Amino acid sequence: MKDGKNQSNKEKVIDFDFKNWLQFIQLVSKKQMFLSVLLGVLRIVIATIWPFFLYIILKEIGVSSANKIILYFGILLFMFGLLTWFTHLQSKINIRILKSFTLEMIDKIWKKMNSLEWLTFHQKNRVYFFDLLMVETWRLKSGMTALLESLIINTLIAATLSCFVVFVNWSLFLVFFSGLLIMGIGHYFSSKQIRPLLKKFHQAWREQHLWVAKCVDQFDLIKMDRAYESSSKRNIENSSKFLEINAQVLQMQAKWRNINQLLSNLVRIGVFIIGIYWVRIGYLGMDDLLLTLLLISIIQVNIMQIPSALNNLMEAQESFKTISDFFNLKGESSEHLNRIDTFGRLEKITIKNLSYGYENQDVISNFNLNLEVGKIYLWKGKNGSGKSTAAHILLSLIKPDRGNLFINEIEIPWQDLKQFRNRFAFLNQDSPIFMGSIKENILFGHPNSTAALETMHSSWLNRLLPISDMGLLRSVGERGEGLSGGEAKKIALIRETLRSSELLILDEPLNHLDEFSIQEITREVLKIKQNTIVIIISHQNGFESIADKIIEF
């Protein structure tokens, strides 16, 4: 169980409040981050030095020799080239950092998702997990990009260039700083106004995503001329709500974009007019004004990238909260498990006084069960009597409220039962078929796919394969789309019986199957039972003749 413990430790790394961005940085490579910071520092140093040389050139024009001016100008061009090169190198390093960080985050989310308790997982929908693995991680990546590419570097470069404006003319700097303050206030209020609408839009997007998934699932029903009008009306209503929120966001963004553009233009014009006035009265030289205006334009280019970067950072902060809540979902405990190597082959399972309930209502109460290799057990009973629940408990997918478990007459804790899962096979009522080929579905999780394929072709299982020109390469859509219920059931049955299992549970195996397939399964189950505990859950008649024991629920 070493992997389980390692996973537990990894979860602790990610399970924090996500408010401290220093912990955010800790998830990336220290070496790569050091190189990025070093290049960023060099960019800031050059951004501080080059205005000084430009200032010297302006002062020397018409005073010093052309060679001296050309030398200074060459140094200036060299610094610009060096600045461009450092920027390119830092971008390459940052891209590697972002790729590594995002991949690690996706890996942690995937592992956490598959470590959730069975019931906890099924309480969520596909859209929820899609958002976690795609949307939220992408927003984190955008936030990291904003942090590395815009916020830190652009802010520091703008600050250093602003300091040089102080060196040129203190009064002009105060005018410029006042203008920046006005622009900053405008961007602050715009972010404050837009942010709540953006959060509503993200929620509306998720709801629309969920609605579209529901529309796809309703296709066959609507094709049978059912609820076409009501579903069409609901589609318009849901889509209208989604687009209305989107329109509100776009209108608010356009409004504040125009306001901020107006403020920016007013600041530029104000600084220019005041500067010209000071030149006219002899308080400021024209070269100082031109240099200041150049620096101001560069500073504004850097500052204008900060608001969108802040928005990406805020979105990342929200994603951190979502992912943090996800990592706090109830998962299976992987600690304090006793090793089961000494049990050898599973020969007998005994359960005493088993009880389990949903929402304070018992589904199974004081249930006793004895299972032995070489026997077929037929479980019968009305819907909701606890047959499938008992199967899920036996497979360690659900932990019971009470009861004692014995494996080969040795009592073990219920949590240790999960270590037997790879020795169990389970054909569920809703056969889990995923998008891909029939071959992928059949061989999924098999330790030796080549041997499994040879076994299938030389056994009765080959006769259960759907017949088509594509054969095993036939494509299967999401959740078995494109297959009949019988074909999906057969593919799932082949996948489970290809494994050498010590416990085989068939939950309603006759559903969707033709008479030929039923006869094949019945005959082969008698062979399988020699080395396996076989449990058949069925409402239909057909297995009574081969069952060694019938258990009523």
DSSP labels, 498-552 = TS--SEEEEESTTTT--HHHHHHHHHHHHHHGGGSEEEEE-SSSSSTTT-SEEEE
Of 321, 267, 295, 351, nearest to 159 (Cα)? 295
Same domain flag for 323 and 345:
no
The phi and psi torsions of 407 (rounded to 5 degrees) equal -115, 120
- CATH number for 244: 1.20.1560.10
**Under 8 Å between Cβ of 284 and 277:** no
Tokens standing for residue 390: 């008992």
Per-residue pLDDT for the chain (553 aa), expressed as one digit of tens each?
344 444 444 444 343 444 555 555 666 777 888 888 899 889 888 887 888 788 788 778 777 788 888 888 888 899 989 989 998 998 899 888 888 888 888 898 999 999 999 999 988 988 899 889 998 998 888 888 888 878 888 888 888 888 878 877 888 888 888 888 888 888 888 888 888 898 899 889 889 988 988 888 888 778 878 889 988 999 999 999 999 999 999 999 899 989 988 988 888 888 889 988 998 998 888 888 888 888 877 887 777 777 778 888 888 888 888 888 999 898 887 655 666 666 788 899 999 999 998 877 888 999 999 999 999 999 998 888 889 999 999 999 999 999 999 999 999 999 889 889 889 999 888 878 888 888 988 988 888 888 888 888 888 888 878 766 567 888 888 888 888 888 888 888 888 888 888 999 999 887 777 777 788 888 888 888 888 999 999 877 778 888 999 998 8
Distance CA 261, CA 248 (A): 20
Same domain flag for 406 and 345:
yes
Same domain flag for 358 and 250:
no
- Domain contains 333: no
Tokens standing for residue 351: 């359960």
Its domain, for residue 372, covers 341-552
Distance CA 443, CA 121 (A): 24
Token look-up 């927003």 returns 139
Report the DSSP beta bridge partners of residue 412: 405
Same domain flag for 379 and 274:
no
- Domain contains 332: no
Count of H helices and E strands in the chain? 18, 11
Q: Looking at this protein, which amino acid is placed at residue 383?
A: N
Distance CA 69, CA 53 (A): 10
**How would you label 255-292 residue by residue, b for 16+ Cβ within 10 Å and e otherwise?**
ebeeebeebbeebeeebeebbeebbeeeebeebbbebb
Same domain flag for 192 and 156:
yes
Same domain flag for 123 and 244:
yes
Same domain flag for 226 and 364:
no
Domain C-terminal end among 301, 327, 353? 327
Domain C-terminal end among 278, 300, 327? 327
- DSSP letter string, 124-142: S-HHHHHIIIIIIHHHHHH
Same domain flag for 367 and 309:
no
- CATH number for 455: 3.40.50.300
- Domain contains 335: no
pTM of the model: 0.78
Same domain flag for 107 and 32:
yes
Tokens standing for residue 471: 């054969």
Could you tell me the maximum CA-CA distance found in the chain, to the nearest angstrom?
Answer: 112
Q: Domains in the chain: how many in total?
A: 2
Of 306, 292, 20, 3, nearest to 162 (Cα)? 292
Same domain flag for 274 and 346:
no
